[in-house]
Amino acid sequence: MSIISQFYQIPIKSHTLPSQITSKPQLLSPTPVKSTLFTTGAKRGIPSNIIKVKATSADDERGPEKPTNSIASNGSAAVAVAEEETGVEVEEIYRLKNQLVDSFYGTDRGLKASTETRAEIVEFITQLEAMNPTPAPTDALPLLNGKWILAYTSFAGLFPLLSQGRLPLVKVEEISQTIDSTNFTVQNSVQFSGPLATTSLSTNAKFEVRSPKRVQIKFEEGVVGTPQITDSVVLPENVEFLGQNIDLTPLKGLFDSVQDTASSVAKTISNQPPLKFNISQNAESWLLTTYLDQELRISRGDAGSVFVFLKEGSLLLNNA
């Protein structure tokens, strides 16, 4: 967090007055002025400003000097320092976010992350959490709105799902979480793709605010999306499976013959409604949001796992 430079009171020097002065000028008591600086951290008070008075002799032809009020100048200086340090903090957050996202490279959302990489990621996350610009995320629900793309997780329960993307011809395209703060709903979705079709698996849930950072999630139903058959089948020349490259060239003729049939089937299947199923009433969880801004969200689950989401459309997705 940024630290505002301390302002110290300027001592008022006392002057020995000539003996012919019969009345003493009144010294105005220093008036404390409090100011709240708009930074991402806690409120910072500006120390009391001093109103300076100069003692003069009775025969001073200019008369007593008017008090000089330093409130405006000191206040402006304080705001300038606050803005400068806030700018430094914004730059630090920007740097940390980019380093965090860069560290995800090659980890397949955490599935392939090494021990050293996980430790590095945890360090970046800890530093960002300490600089969280939204200390009470549930009081800023509109900021939570929208679609968030999962960039990294340490949740082992997702690893079997991520491993499906390592099977031949099957790929996990995207894992996302869509939040609607108006209706208090959350949708978790996984998109799969293959050479013949794409489909999705989703869960719909309701959430309740339990604290400034925590929400309770109750899952209601699951949805298997309608497969979208691709009109044109593109067969790769080879695929990697269990460390071996498999040549698919002999199958090219078979796939070419399927293209015409796939086009007609695609129109039929794509018009079918998605398959919905109920989820157990005891399926509940909670989520703690420890960092939130317009493009990055860090959350922690009830199993001690961490989730890093990037907002759809964020430039950070280009580095993930």
Q: Per-residue pLDDT tens for 53-82? A: 344 444 444 445 554 455 455 555 555 545
For the chain, give the percent of residues with pLDDT over 90. Answer: 42
For the ranges 21-35, 97-111, 201-215, 282-296, which has the lowest average pLDDT?
A: 21-35
Within 10 angstroms of residue 222's Cβ, the number of other Cβ atoms is: 16
Q: Which residue has the tokens 């980890």?
A: 107
* pLDDT value at residue 203: 94
What's the angle, vertex CA 172, arms to CA 208 and CA 189, rounded to 5? 20
Q: How confident is the model at residue 280 (pLDDT cuts 50, 70, 90)?
A: confident
Find the farthest-apart pair of alpha carbons in the chain and give their distance in angstroms, rounded. 117
CATH for 107-226+273-318, options being 2.40.50, 2.40.128, 1.10.3470, 3.30.70: 2.40.128
110: left (phi over 0), alpha (psi -120 to 50) or beta: left
What's the angle, vertex CA 209, arms to CA 94 and CA 42, rounded to 5? 45
* pLDDT value at residue 257: 64
| 186-231 tens-digit pLDDT | 999 999 887 777 889 999 999 999 999 999 999 999 999 888 776 5
Q: Which tokens hold the place of 165?
A: 């993307």
Q: Measuring CA to CA, which residue among 21, 10, 71 is closest to residue 46?
A: 71
Spatial distance between the Cα atoms of 145 and 69, rounded to a whole number of angstroms: 48
User: Per-residue pLDDT for 36 more than 50?
Assistant: no
Spatial distance between the Cα atoms of 198 and 212, rounded to a whole number of angstroms: 38
* CATH 2.40.128, the chain: domain bounds: 107-226+273-318
Task: Return the axis-axis angle of helices 115-130 and 71-102, rounded to nearest 10°.
Answer: 160
Q: Which residue has the tokens 């939130």?
A: 292
pTM value is 0.65
Q: Measuring CA to CA, which residue among 105, 154, 91, 97 is closest to residue 128?
A: 97
